[in-house]
């Protein structure tokens, strides 16, 4: 009983001696599968700190953030499945640093080429023309969202968009997010700029 109380008192009194932080990437960083993702960690703890990739509660050691330094590491995402991962840097001398990254499908599975909108940016000033989602597989669904996450348009029988929402109104200038789901399970997400 005394040992437990003493240990609790000691841990409550412990102060961290430094900081450990991800400089890059920021929380919403995304990388395309098969590309390199630059990870930058600032370690002011005075001791080396391991950095882990966390997926489904499994921790895979990536590299060591050197003491009192900024360490850069390039993660090859080619061996990772598309999805969200956590990066975690640990030290007994600082709070654990966490950040999440998203690895997006590159479209290389099953020989499927990368899907992208053309033109991008899309100029609505002429009130003519369309955006074509190049390399979209038959049977895919294209959904366009505004930056607030609200659905603007859904394309099911065509892979071109005329800049109008589902009510038929022209959309405002700005950045939109497109999400494409293909019958083979591949998903593509990206941004499309609309100008007037």
CATH number for position 75: 2.60.40.10
Instruction: Give residue-wise pLDDT tens across range 5-28.
Output: 333 333 334 467 788 888 865 444
Distance (Å, whole) CA 128 – CA 133 = 17
Domain annotation covers residue 177: yes
Single pTM value for the model: 0.47
Note whether 88 and 27 are same-domain residues: yes
Domain annotation covers residue 12: no
Distance (Å, whole) CA 45 – CA 76 = 27
Instruction: Give residue-wise pLDDT tens across range 89-118.
Output: 888 888 888 877 777 765 544 445 577 888
Distance (Å, whole) CA 154 – CA 151 = 8
Number of domains in the chain: 2
Q: End of a domain among 104, 138, 167?
A: 104
Q: End of a domain among 42, 75, 104?
A: 104
């Amino acid at each position: 009983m005394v040992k437990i109380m003493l240990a609790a008192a000691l841990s409550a009194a412990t102060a961290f001696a430094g900081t450990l932080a991800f400089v890059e990437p920021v929380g919403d960083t995304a990388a395309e599968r098969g590309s390199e993702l630059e990870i930058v960690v600032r370690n002011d703890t005075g001791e080396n700190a391991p950095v882990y990739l966390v997926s489904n509660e499994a921790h895979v050691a990536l590299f060591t953030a050197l003491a009192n330094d900024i360490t850069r590491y390039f993660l090859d995402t080619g061996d990772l499945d598309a999805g969200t991962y956590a990066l975690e840097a640990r030290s007994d001398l600082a709070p654990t640093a966490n950040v999440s990254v998203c690895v997006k499908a590159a479209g290389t599975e099953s020989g499927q080429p990368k899907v992208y909108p053309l033109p991008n940016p899309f100029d609505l000033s002429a009130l003519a023309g369309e955006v074509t989602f190049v390399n979209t597989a038959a049977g895919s669904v294209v959904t366009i969202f505004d930056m607030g996450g609200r659905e603007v348009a859904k394309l099911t029988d065509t892979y071109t968009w005329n800049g109008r929402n589902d009510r038929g109104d022209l959309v405002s200038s700005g950045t939109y997010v497109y999400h494409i789901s293909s019958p083979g399970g591949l998903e593509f997400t990206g941004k499309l700029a609309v100008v007037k």
